[in-house]
Structure 1
Amino acid sequence: MLKNKSLLYGLGIGLMAGALLLELMNTVANPQTSMPAADPLDKAQVKELALQYFKVYEKEEAVYDQTQLDQTVQQKVEEERQKLAAAQPAPAPAPAPADALKEIYIYVAPGIVVSQVGDMLVTSGVIADKNAFLTEMNNRGLNEKVKIGVLAFKGPQTLEQVLAAVTGQ
């Protein structure tokens, strides 16, 4: 049986090719039974089918790309700013700054590092420069002596006051 292996492969491939050719001949001989005739579609049906796969716009409808849309929005914003500037009277004198009276509370959790404390202080407006705070803490060797708990600050502070509050010294 092993000696006839190539013969059997040839017979199998020949049978498959013959079956495919016979099916092809039957399909060509009777085209009405194999494929139904396509009915012409009207505009609404074409649009409905196209909406399944594409974005469809009417010919009269304006379509913008992102850059055109951004430019249009910027123009509208500028027009509105000009209208507000023309309609707005001169600004009234500003009242006393509320930051001087405002109390700020910061919670320092256990395990928090000095740079995170610096971020919180800058974000809350207690100090203006995080790098100066970190440098001073490092120079004085206070990186490991950060006080855990709630720290209260009243308005913007000097660096010395903040270091004393953060370390509890």
Structure 2
Amino acid sequence: MLKNRSYLLGIGTGIIVGALLLQVMSVRASAPGKSGLALDEMDPQKLKEETAKYYQVFDLGTKMYTQAEVDASVQKKVKEETDKLAAAKPQDQPKTETVVRTVVYVQPNLDATAVSELLVKSGLITDRKAFATELQKQGGNSKLQVGFHVFEGQMDMQQVVSNLITSQQ
């Protein structure tokens, strides 16, 4: 009997699982549904309420749109609104000139050549030697202020040097 122990264990487990499945099937067959009504016995309103729990339910006359149709409709509305705004905007207003604002940070212990390199890279000056001579003329080699310096629009060399020498608050 000990030799066939695994076979007996398998047969016993199979019988138990089979009995449980048979019991579940018989209970399920006797119950008509959760609501107690079969699908044939429900009126259309009750059927709609029951299916609305699990699905989106729409009336037959409701128009359904695909994503492509919605996107096309939105694009059409956006185009109409931009056309309205363009028509409402007066064309006789002069265009304002935008001022280019450049901010340069001068670090501590930077000499005049490093500052001139920084200004050339930012596009404020084009000639390093002219900047160095103007800086010497104004006596600013040792007076360069550390911090942020704001340059608006096109500035000549004297304005750039005076901006770097004066204190920024």
TM-score (norm 1): 0.44
Q: Give the structure with the larger helix fraction.
A: 1
Q: Quick one: higher RCO (CA 8 Å, sep 6+), 1 or 2?
A: 1
TM-score (norm 2): 0.44
